[in-house]
Amino acid sequence: MFFRRDAKAVQVAARLAQTAYRDGSSALGPKLATMRSGEVTPRAVVVGFYRHLDDAMGVLRLGTACQSGCDYCCYYRTVASPMEVFAIREHVMSLDGPERERVFDQLAQNLETIQPLTPDQHNETNVPCPFLVSRHCSIYDLRPVACRRHHSVDVTPCNAAFHDPRTSDRCPQFPEHLAIADGYNFAQYVELREHRLDARVYELNAALHGALSDPTAYPRWLAGQRAFPDVSDVQKSPRRI
């Protein structure tokens, strides 16, 4: 649901989306070549890309209801590109033993829950993100565009959706914020395709499991093949997330 649906807000959002696409492409495109040659890792690439995105959103100074410790949206189905998933994999592999174990255990529990579900059923089921710790995101700097895109102008419907995930109530959102995130996300998709890399959008738990359990996943992605062929919850390109 848009917070403001007036024609001017939609016009502004369309212009912001175009600018965001252009800026996102220039922030990401040149870095992908260095990643493919092994000079930098996906984590280094996405951190720079996300910094641009956060700066673009920050300029708007929109007053959202989102606050530290509010985690209702971290039980939603979340998606990410292979580049984002491999960046998170780097983070997981850098964790100390107990914390890495905790992520692996939560991931295993989540996979058991979501494997029999369709994407729509998953959307109607609260599943805690494996990176949610004490109601905070433990990978805040590395959270995917899908998480950065999500926000709410009012916490009441977020609370209602958490307690009844089948509710049709949706968090009211700013079209300008969505437009910038979508512009950057589309830029990511186009740039990955330009570099002949799989740019599909995968369900986060399943894709991360693939990245962590299959050592051939990253070289396969760099070789231009499908990063996570066993993941069934996948979209060919970004759509509203």
Contact positions toward ligand SF4, by CB under 6 A?
74, 78, 129, 131-132, 137, 139, 143, 147
R_g of the chain, CA atoms, integer Å: 17
- Judged by phi (left if over 0) then psi (alpha if -120 to 50, else beta), residue 61 lies in left
Task: Quote the least distance from Cβ 137 to ligand SF4, whole Å.
Answer: 3
Closest to ligand SF4 by CB, 143 or 195 = 143
Min dist. Cβ of residue 140 to ligand SF4 (A): 7
For the CB of residue 50, give the shortest distance to ligand SF4 in the complex, in Å: 12
What minimum distance in Å lies between the beta carbon of 67 and ligand SF4?
A: 13
Closer to ligand SF4 by CB, 25 or 72: give it. 72
Strand partners, 132: 137
CB of 215 vs ligand SF4, minimal distance in Å = 23
- Alpha-carbon gap, residue 208 to 205, rounded angstroms: 5
If residue 202 lies in a helix (H) or strand (E), which one and from where to where? strand 201-203
Nearer to ligand SF4, 6 or 141 (CB): 141
Cα 166 from chain centroid?
22
- Choice between 103 and 234, CB closer to ligand SF4: 103
Kindly tell me which of 25 and 110 has the beta carbon lying closer to ligand SF4: 110
How far is residue 51 from each of residues 22, 98, 178, 204, 236, measured CA to CA in Å? 15, 29, 16, 21, 25
- Rounding to the nearest 10 degrees, give the CA dihedral for residues 191, 130, 139, 61: 80
